[in-house]
Structures are given as C-alpha cells and as structure tokens.
Amino acid sequence: MRVERASRTLGARVQGVDLGRPLDADTFDSVRDALNRHSVLVFPEQEVEPPAQVEFSARFGRLKHHVLKENLLPGMPEIYVLTNMTSQNEVAPRPYAGAYWHTDLSYEAEPAFGSVMYAVEVPEVGGDTMFCSMAAAWDALSERMKALLEGLTATHSFEHAYETFVKHIPGTAPIDRRRFDARPPVTHPLVHTHPESGRRCLYVNPGFTERINELPPAEGEAILAFLYEHCTSERFVYRHRWSRHDVVMWDNRATMHKAVPDYDDGDSRYMRRTTIAGSAPRG
C-alpha cells in the first residue's frame, strides 16, 4: 500500500489496494489511519461490485439508509445511487445532485462518519468533486474568532438544502413532504473535536445549516457567510477529477464537499455511494 498526498492540505491517492476483495487487518488499519491523516482518499482503477463496496464500508461501522428511498439500489438499500441517466429505471434520476457545499447527513442526530463513492460512469468533461478541510480552516482562524465561535450551536435541516438549492435545479423531481418529516431539524455544535484525530473542526455547511442558534439572524447569517467563504478558499480545497472506477472515501467529520455541475446534460454520470454512521458531534 502506497499513500501519496494529493494536495498540500487534504487528500491522498492510495495505490496497491484492491477494494474488490476483503482487506487483511493490517491493510484495513492502514487505510483508516490514512483517512484520519488526509480526510479524503482516492483509490484509482478499482473493480468493485455492490456487495464488495458494502462489505468494505461496513468494516468502518453501521451503514446508513438514505431518506430518499427511490434512490436506493434495489435489493441493496445500503447503496445510494446518484445518476442523471433516465434510462436507469432501477432508481430515480437526480441530475446535478450535491451541487452545493454540504456535509453528508449533518441533518441527522448522529450524522455520517464517512462516505464511500464508486464511479461507474463519469462525464467526458467536468463533474469534479471539491472537498475542503474543516480542520485546516479552523486552525487558520484568529484566536478572537475562535473564542467567538466556541460554545455556539447551529440548526441543521434536510429541508433547508431542498428549499435553498435542490428545487431550483432543472429536472429535479419534488421531494415528498414525508421525507422532510422523517428528518426533523437537529442541533450540533458549531465547532467539534474529531473523535479519532483529536483536531478541532468547524461543523457547518451551506446545504444543511439553517442558522446559529445563539445569535440574532442577521449576525448569525453574516458569520456563516464569512465561514463559508473562508472554508472554501483555495488553500483548504482539494478538487478531484473523476475517472471511471475511482473509489473516493471521505471523512464527513472533517470536510465539506461539492459536486461541480459543469457537465453536459447528455453526459452520463452514475455513482454508487455508501454512508457510514457516526456519532453526535461533541463540542
């Protein structure tokens, strides 16, 4: 197993690992250690069938079933399918899914620890995914700003992303009200301690964060706007250009990400994602 940094701040390419087969204990431990150090891992040129993806992901913890049931792989609800391909009648298409900065499942009381994405089909041009380090972004803040943010909490909501971003994407089907009711808003600390690395990380995102609870709306919105601009500045971002059969794993406790919607409508994109359950963030 060889690990090579993909950018100065986060991300690494992992060679010499076959995720299509069960990993031995030492290799698995090395992968987990690399994830804690780099937050985003890229495994190129993989041949991973759905059962193997589920098996690899489940070694990190219990797998989550996404609330959008129509996007789950039939017979294997641990896999969430993101595709713009209307010919794939096994799941509903979701064109330009995730085209906003977000952290997977931050709208749940126990959000996602990690996500594992396998690229079955990718656009010929475009469709990159950008990741930013919420740990490095925290470290770079002034001590006065850190003191202001410590102890604050934020409300996260699944419906917020739909109302703010998703429903404005052409071709997106409406989401049933029951899906929102199944995921009511939750509260998380604005800054938390990563349970494995021990690093302090910001824990807000434009997709699912509605507000800072302890501040008047105008003040909270101004601080969130500053944090989003700060976190997504180039020095904290790794941009991944997908190739077919890439596997990318990321740590939701230490990152935000965004799918770049710059590919043609006729270009096929078909991705399989598993999501690993985590614990409630602790301030």
Beta strands in 163-208 (DSSP E): 186-189, 191-193, 200-202
Residue in 94, 102, 156, 192 annotated catalytic: 102
Q: Look up 156 and say whether it is catalytic.
A: no
Residue in 194, 199, 211, 273 annotated catalytic: 273
d(CA 82, CA 115): 13
Q: Look up 273 and say whether it is catalytic.
A: yes
Q: Output the CA–CA distances (angstroms, integers) from residue 127 to 33, 203, 228, 265, in the order listed.
A: 28, 25, 21, 11
- 3-state secondary structure at position 6: coil
Residue in 66, 94, 211, 257 annotated catalytic: 257
Exposure on the CB side of residue 273, measured as CA atoms within 13 A? 23
d(CA 256, CA 204): 9
Residue in 104, 156, 160, 269 annotated catalytic: 104
Phi, psi of 181, rounded to the nearest 5 degrees: -65, -30
- 3-state secondary structure at position 283: coil
Q: Look up 102 and say whether it is catalytic.
A: yes
Q: Look up 128 and say whether it is catalytic.
A: no
Active-site annotation, residues? 102, 104, 257, 273
